Structure 1
Amino acid sequence: MTRPAARNGSRASADRLARLLNLVPYLLARPGIEIAEAAGDLGVTERQLREDLELLWVCGLPGYGPGDLIDMAFDGDRVTITYDAGIDRPLRLTPDEALALVVALRMLAETPGVANREAVERALAKIEDAGDLVGAPVAVRLPGDTPRVEALRAAVEGGKALGITYYTAARDETTERVIDPLRMLMVGGRAYVEAWCRRAEAVRLFRADRIDAITELDEPATVPPQAVPHDLTEGVFRPSADLPLITVRIGRGERWITEYYPCERVEADGDQWLVSLRVTDLGWARRFVLGLGPEVTVVAPVELAEQVRATAAAALDAYAVPAPTTVPAPTTVPRSPEVDAERVPPGDPAVAGRTQ
């Protein structure tokens, strides 16, 4: 079994939705237009336009009966909208619809990485004014909203350089860095700051929850001309041919790996799967494999297999150290009835505090 490359279906769906929303008013203004001409104006092929028209035939108002759906007439290669299902009428929102839109816009405004936050806030103000929703008792807070994220966002908006203490999971190390922030991002439910790292002399992504300390410096952020933001349309980690390729054999209980990590190849091998994926470095791969269950075996590279074997052997050797055989005899102290009456359960915080 070979795992197919993932397709960006959400982007294609969004593009088609925008095209369909523009298609009806376009056709209403040009009754009897030739399909070839319309396809050229809209920047699509004739085949794609015909598929869009077939989809419009099943779109319309709730009820979705014959009198509710968009209708059109064809005369050879010409098309005319005969019923637009009210799409040409001004938009009127119910209070519930307006409130739902306000909540969505407020969430969008709080999301790090929004390209034009001011435009979102202007649209929000217009909807609130039109629907008498100013000051609506609705508070929106994203799961990633923390004082750390707020400090990072303020630094980005204020154009300040930052000193940070950062934990790098791939190398299992903590470093001190000075960064010049470029933008805030929200990817996969996690907040990131993208910045020019003066230590690495390159653009880097820093996960907000791995920043242990932040110091705003008394100097503006200085981003060199060669600092180019990353393309994150397909996620934060983008495997490339120059990264190490590892292959592991996994059992049924570890198949979640193929859903969580981008894999180059997944092949069935009886009840087990052979999985190949790119990693940032073999140090991360070693910790990754050691953290999995017993149904995982490293197939390649040999270097990784040896590292995993050596680390596992060292752990077993640590357990093999014999414990001290001589235990000091306990001191017996006469116990009074009052003390027995005040005994507390083992591990009680108060007792632990007195005995340390």
Structure 2
Amino acid sequence: MKAAILERYDEALTSEQFVRYTDVEDPRIDGPNDVIVRIGGAGVCRTDLHIVEGIWRSKVEVRLPYIMGHENAGWVEAIGRGVEGVKVGDAVVCHPLVTSGHCLACRRGDDMHATDSKFPGINANGGYAQYLLTGERALIKLPKSLTPKDVAPYTDAGLTAYRATKKASRHLLPGQYAVVIGAGGLGHIGIQVLNALCAAEIIAIDRADAGLALAKECGAHHQVKADGNEVAAIMELTGGNGAEAVIDFVGEGDAIARGLAMTRNGGYYYIVGYGGKIEIPTIDMITSEKTIVGNLVGTYPELVELMALADRGLVNLVTREYPLEQANQALHDLHHGRIKGRAVLVP
């Protein structure tokens, strides 16, 4: 099959070619619950750029060359002898984690912390290819209203945004404020989910005019330019108290300190983006009683819930398609901020 493979790391992200488009061996069914999916769409994520940089080397064991791509959807191509939940030809979206279902975390539905798992595109071959090896437990059959290439980025970008905003929505009341930092690939989904799940006023922050325009399209009630004065702007909008919830899809640079500064006392700061550090004196944690919450993708049931919102038209992805052989162009466009919403590779 054809695939775009990562052969070497590039810490500075200066190479013209991050991945190489070439022929590789087809995946094989080895276990009774294995499923091979013919890829209809593979999302291009900022995490993929972090993988190219080598940031994940200390977190996972993977040998180069391998195939990136952890946001995948397509059609069932082949199944193991024990598979009963899907059949060849079914359109499916893939939860990013493949789990056995036997460990205690799996049985509690806590997929992201399963002790017996693999993560295609992170620590195993992923979906920058024509075919993907996954497991039956990871698959959700798509309704006829949704096509694989249109939903692939939901499996990480959408699911991660959903998990964080769902947590926030549980304590947000009418008349309260939720700030979304970063209105790009994840943020534009988070804004829509907040609108679907709660009645808080939504404030979107982005440094790009295109991001703020997208945020407005997605239902943000206020748009604030990230120009160094965003904390003051948030304070003015919230009557000087700050927001009850701040969801940070950036997680690096000045976004962290400013995100915490615009979180009101007793409020919640949800960190989704990564690359930076959270540094706060313990006395400030005590006196402000702010809660800092980490977010790691999401569970299988949460992906089912997100697909239900998409099926009803309450959440829509903004995507830009690239042929698989143009994976390098998609990665460079993402790196240089030239993509509105999410990029999707289509074999």
TM-score by length of 1: 0.20
TM-score, length basis structure 2: 0.20
Higher helix share: 1
Structure scoring higher RCO (CA < 8 A, sep ≥ 6) equals: 2
